[in-house]
Amino acid sequence: MPFVSQIKRQTDYNLYSSTTPIVIDNGASNFRIGWAGENDPRVIFRNIVQRPRHKTTGETVSIVGDHDTTLLKYFDCSRSGPRSAFDSNVVYQFEIMEYILDFGFDRLGANGSEIDHPVLITECILNPVQSRSKMAELLFETYGVPSVAFGVDAAFSYKYNQQNGICDKDGLAICPGFTTTHVIPFIDGEPVYKGCSRTNIGGYHVTDYLKQLLSLKYPHHMARFTWEKVEDLKMEHCYIATDYASEARLFQKGTKEAEEKTRCWQLPWVPPPVEEPPSEEEIARKAAIKERQGQRLREMAEAKRSTRINELENQLRGLEFLLQQLEQVEESEIPYFLKDTGYVSRQEIETALAKATQSLRKVKGEPKGEQAEVEEKTDEKYPLVNIPDNMLTQDQLREKRRQMFLKTTSDGRQRAKQKRVEEDLERERKNQLDEQKRLENPELYLGEMRTKYKELCEKVEQRKRLKTNGNHSNGNGMSGGVGRGERLNAAQRERMRLLTTAAFDRGKGEDNFGAKDEDWQLYKLMSKDNDDDDEGPDEDETELARVSSRLQEIDPTFVPKPEPGPSQSAADMPRSRPLTKEDFQILLGVERFRCPEILFHPNLVGIDQAGLDEMAGVSMRRLSSKDQVLEERLTNSILMTGGSCLYPGLSERLEAGIRMIRPCGSPINVVRALDPVLDAWRGASLYAAAVQFPQQTFSRMDYFEKGEDWLRGYQFQYTL
């Protein structure tokens, strides 16, 4: 299967003899492979595998390690995420491990599937025999490796730093790794396995914790917090606090020192374009274009108006001519005469003539008094209203009832219009009075308006609650959920009675409701004292709107209460403020030391285990020898190695924690490895280059002859 990678393939594989060992540092985070005796590994990549499908061909490819984002857009990664061969720090997915080894040997320059070089591969402390045997089976049977040796990465790093004079032969190796943290005591240069301790906390948990905190703090930028980016932020900005509680209080108070320790990550942001004011030439050009467009629209409107006037004048002449002919026709022959004209009676023609005359006057823009308009509507639009019923036919009676209904509706609209005009005048009068009061004493006036606004708000809210919950309480002094009948007040119950009576009285015979003027008095009775009518705002709401508008005019700091819609709460209202540069800034404050603090207090992320300083005490207590001198030698040479010991302040914090559990005056010396990340591979490389290295390996013949059970007694000696 093809591989997708950015790592360059080595070309000098055939230049090394078959006796030169291959050194592999198989870490849970990174895979490192190279030749024994060299100072640096040849190939380093992330120890993960992803197998997506190509979007066009459907071919499955293997993406090992760091992938190229420009190539990944051609693949469907939705069904195949990154997978690791490790469970905690133990290899258990050997199908994925085979992809890793295939890729590692291929990048090293191997041409075929056979590897004719001895292999030294690292493993975790006290690795289960099942995992070691599966790894030996994979190397011997799949790759044909002649011999294999297994060693602990932390032990190789300790021996490498011991040779460089960083630590002594007796000491402690504290290795905070990617998924676990180990503490290994060394006596005479050899690890003491019964004194080892481990916790399931490491750099992976620190990164995951930082990712969670940033996602909760900035939910709108969650897509930015990829694993790789959060890993970079962790390694660049996180540190270990000497005193976690005091450091947290420092940020809680928001002191200047806390601001200096806060780091800012600026996300990509493009400022909105600034519109420059148009030049005079541009303004003149736009004005000329607008004038031409307006002239063209005026010409079109004038042409349309002339056409409409001609049509109405022709219609008027036709109707007048038709009325003149009707005067010469006998009454009995009128229906036959109007059969082809589309009209039924003389009244209909007169109504059409009145409408056409009114439309013509409107088009021509002729002024017309309000009283004349009302009289014309009464006389011409409703000609049958004032005619007695005994002088009308059945068709005319039905037409009269229809005209009475229309006339009543029209009169109601006129009254409503007049009422609105009066309300506007009253509002203007109140505004003038308010302005006079404000000019006399502005502060007193502002206080009175604010008090009035508050009272009206409470009154309107109480009214709305009563509409929703009813006018009765549920026995506890609170408005409770009651039935519809219990929520009706006296006015509403009277309305229901009137409706029921009208339905009972009018339910028999012909429905002629509205034929008499007294029938319409029923609506007035039903509308009387209608305080709970849902249609239209009441007086309190109108006054509240006026006071709110007035406060917005005279008080710049006044903010009216939001009025969310039925399906949108006030918290969900859209933001009207434009986005700025500060909205795309990620501030790292307390997260800088809160996340790596889980190395000392794993309970912050729900892991009930010991921290680094406590693990050192546990490891020394597990030793069978209770020699005080030996314990002092161990604490006098404490080596920190592993990728998660790169945080600033870790050695000081660890020294302070161990001093708390040791007797007063005990020598404590905490040092960091020369290179906590690569020292394990470099120590293994020096070890594999030694002449005595073949004595520590077991061959493929031994594996086939003795079986995997022989690996149970396999013991690696680090001192040659």
**Distance in angstroms (rounded) separating the CA atoms of residues 607 and 342:** 92
3-state helix, strand, coil in the chain (%, to 5): 55, 10, 35
Residue with tokens 């293994």: 684
User: What is the average pLDDT score of the chain?
Assistant: 83
Residue with tokens 């039935």: 483
pLDDT tens digits along 229-288:
999 999 999 999 999 999 999 999 988 999 999 999 999 988 888 778 888 898 889 889
pLDDT at 488: 58
The residue-averaged pLDDT of 317-326 equals 85
What lies within 8 Å, CB to CB, of 70 at 6+ separation is none
**Distance in angstroms (rounded) separating the CA atoms of residues 47 and 93:** 12
225, pLDDT greater than 90: yes
Higher pLDDT, 459 or 122: 122
Q: Give residue 712's pLDDT band: very low, low, confident or very high (50, 70, 90).
A: confident
Q: Give residue 530's pLDDT band: very low, low, confident or very high (50, 70, 90).
A: very low
Backbone angles phi, psi at 228, to 5 degrees: -65, -40
Higher pLDDT, 682 or 400: 682
Nearest to 643 by CA among 164, 66, 154, 155: 154
CA dist 334 to 330, 347, 601, Å?
7, 12, 107
The one-letter code for the residue type at 540 is D
pLDDT at 653: 95
Domain 13-47+85-165+676-713, architecture per CATH: 2-Layer Sandwich (3.30)
pLDDT tens digits along 184-202:
999 999 999 999 999 999 9
pLDDT tens digits along 54-101:
888 888 888 888 776 677 778 887 777 889 999 989 999 999 999 999
pLDDT at 45: 93
Backbone angles phi, psi at 502, to 5 degrees: -65, -40
Instruction: Tell me which H or E stretch contains 402.
Output: helix 394-440
CA dist 647 to 240, 594, 599, Å?
6, 12, 11
pLDDT tens digits along 3-23:
445 678 898 999 999 999 999
Report which listed range, 219-228, 379-388, 407-416, 437-446, is most confident.
219-228
pLDDT at 490: 63
Q: What is the token pair recorded at 114?
A: 């056979």
pTM listed for this prediction? 0.63
The residue-averaged pLDDT of 462-490 equals 54
Helix H, strand E, coil C: the string for 436-503 is HHHHHCHHHHHHHHHHHHHHHHHHHHHHHHHHHHCCCECCCCCECCCCHHHHCCHHHHHHHHHHHHHH
β strands within 52-139, DSSP E:
53-54, 62-64, 75-76, 86-87, 90-91, 119-123
pLDDT tens digits along 20-45:
999 999 999 999 999 999 999 999 99
Enumerate the domain spans of the chain. 13-47+85-165+676-713, 203-270+588-672, 288-364, 394-457
pLDDT at 720: 67
Higher pLDDT, 441 or 522: 441
Nearest to 123 by CA among 154, 156, 143, 152: 152
The residue-averaged pLDDT of 578-603 equals 93
Q: What is the token pair recorded at 100?
A: 């890793």
The dihedral over CA atoms of 405, 407, 413, 417, expressed in degrees to the nearest 10, equals -160
Helix H, strand E, coil C: the string for 606-646 is CCCCCCHHHHHHHHHHHCCCCCHHHHHHHHCCEEECCHHHC
pLDDT at 277: 83
Three-state DSSP state, 701:
helix
pLDDT at 97: 95
**Distance in angstroms (rounded) separating the CA atoms of residues 123 and 144:** 20
Q: Give residue 571's pLDDT band: very low, low, confident or very high (50, 70, 90).
A: very low
Is-contact 23 671, C-beta < 8 A? no
> Percent of the chain beyond pLDDT 70?
85
Other Cβ atoms within 10 Å of 77 Cβ, number: 15
The CB-side HSE value for 44 (13 A sphere, CA atoms) comes to 8
Sign of CA dihedral 619, 624, 629, 633: negative
Nearest to 645 by CA among 654, 636, 656: 654
CATH of domain 203-270+588-672: 3.90.640.10
Other Cβ atoms within 10 Å of 379 Cβ, number: 12
pLDDT tens digits along 363-381:
887 765 444 454 455 555 6
pLDDT at 304: 92
Q: What is the token pair recorded at 210?
A: 């930082």
**Distance in angstroms (rounded) separating the CA atoms of residues 127 and 310:** 104
475, pLDDT greater than 50: no
